[in-house]
Amino acid sequence: MFTVAVVGATGLVGQKMLKVLEERNFPVKRLIPIASRQSAGEKIRFRGEELTVQPLSETVFDGVDYALFSAGAAISREFAPKAVAQGVTVIDNSSAWRMDPKVPLIVPEVNPHAVSAEDRLIANPNCSTIQMVVALKPLHDRFRIKRIVVATYQAVTGSGKQAVQQLHEELTSGTASNPFYPHPIAFNCLPHIDVFQEDGYTKEEHKMIFETHKIMEDDTIGVSPTAVRVPVLGGHSEAINVEFAHSFNLNEVYEILQQAPGVTVVDKPAQNEYPMPLYAEDKDDVFVGRIRRDPSIRNGLNLWVVSDNLRKGAATNAVQIAELMITKRSQ
């Protein structure tokens, strides 16, 4: 049994982490919910018990075994090393450590071998990257991916509570009192997630490129992403086009995906069955459908991939990493 801290416990991902810890019966001896000083003192419930949210400080990690961080990159950069120095295993959901060559970037279904029992700081990948690599890694192992072209359709929960409030207010009253986005999100699509970089891509798109290379352990894969925010409350969708080095047949593709850990194939278009954000809500699998050849290129394949961004895209993957660490340390 372990003492577990959740940093950012009052946020959307933090709240989902608490729920996933409870659902998966994670061996929690004591849970410490942590948040900013503004949220300190709030009450949260865990396994039927009411707990008081603690303010973030250096001393709050005393006696903690595992800390799940979801409070932004600046907080993680400041406090994760301090927690690690106290013997805590930190699993960080921000972008702070993902591309650090010394920090494992882990999706347990894809690269569990990339973390060791001795590691104390582990990065949780970006939500849109996680669902893509869960679907593509087993195909890459068989046919070798040369190039990925992906367009994302990302829900507002990926931006946090302020964005969710903006969507609700725009849908009910037409305007938002404190908008998160630079434009209306209701009845709109924004091809703008995170900050634009000098090359014209956003940080979100860069994450999908560089994190895919690191997780798949193959820098030769070409990745061309366009990340779009859509007026969906929860659940990210991705239209993925893949070019393989080797030929394939669709039956084998189906078989590989149906056997892949964490993947559920939903692909009966004649019966109007295909992955949708509503279908993926509160589930942990990555759902794959609209599987079809791309007739415009040799060895081309199209996929439609959907997952709950707060669960597998964040909270569940973080808890799975903690479970993986416990397993590795017990061996």
Residue-wise pLDDT for 173-182, tens only, equals 999 999 999 9
Alpha carbons within 13 angstroms on the beta-carbon side of residue 151 total 7
Quick: pLDDT tens for 238-296: 999 999 999 999 999 999 999 999 999 999 999 999 999 999 999 999 999 999 999 99
pLDDT digits (tens, 9 = 90+) for 137-184: 999 999 999 999 999 999 999 999 999 999 999 999 999 999 999 999
Helix axes 203-216, 127-143, angle to 10 degrees: 40
pTM of the model: 0.96
Which domains, from first to last, does the chain contain? Answer: 2-125+314-330 (3.40.50.720), 128-309 (3.30.360.10)
Mean residue pLDDT of the chain comes to 97
| Residue given tokens 């969710």 in the structure block | 164
| Catalytic site residue from 127, 140, 183, 213 | 127
pLDDT in tens, 193-236: 999 999 999 999 999 999 999 999 999 999 999 999 999 999 99
Stated length of the chain: 331
Q: Choose, from 113, 140, 189, 236, the residue flagged as catalytic.
A: 236
What is the 8-class DSSP label of residue 4? Answer: E
Asked if 189 is an active-site residue, the reply is no
236 is catalytic: yes
What is the C-alpha separation between 15 and 274, in angstroms, rounded? Answer: 29
The candidate with the shortest Cα–Cα distance to 154, out of 215, 95, 232, is: 232
Integer Cα distance of 275 and 27 in angstroms = 33
User: Which candidate, 86, 123, 120, 79, places its Cα nearest to that of 101?
Assistant: 123
Alpha-helix residue ranges (DSSP H) falling in 236-296: 250-259, 277-280
Residue 169, helix vs strand vs coil: helix
Whole-Å CA distances, 286 to 127, 180, 266, 302: 11, 28, 10, 16
